[in-house]
Amino acid sequence: MNDKDMVNDYLAGLNASLTGYANYITQSDNEQLRQALIQIRNQCESKQRNVYEYALQKGYYKPAAPADPNVAEQLKSELSSQ
């Protein structure tokens, strides 16, 4: 496994963890547990951002092209009117 594969694998794992934390946080009824999960999620987000920036800098990751501003505004209008 080369450096690019390891970085992308780690980034994918962090992204999956963040999704899991979001689900656990929203379903937690215990406030102490909820706050602990929020702290862990925040730390994970920080790691994810650092790995993302490293991958971007090395050319290991290429983000999607930015959305067309007109399409984004149309979608925003449709979602806010529901």
pLDDT tens, 42-72?
Answer: 999 999 999 999 999 999 988 888 888 998 8
Spatial contact of 15 and 49, defined as CB atoms under 8 Å apart = no
Q: Which residue has the higher pLDDT, 81 or 2?
A: 2
Which residue, 27, 72, 80, 21, is CA-closest to 45?
21
Domain range summary for the chain, segments of one domain joined by +: 3-80
Residue 65: exposure state from Cβ atoms within 10 A (0-12, 13-18, ≥19): exposed
For residue 53, give the nearest of 11, 2, 22 by alpha carbon: 11
With contact defined as beta carbons under 8 Å apart, do 61 and 8 qualify? yes
pTM over the 0.85 mark: no
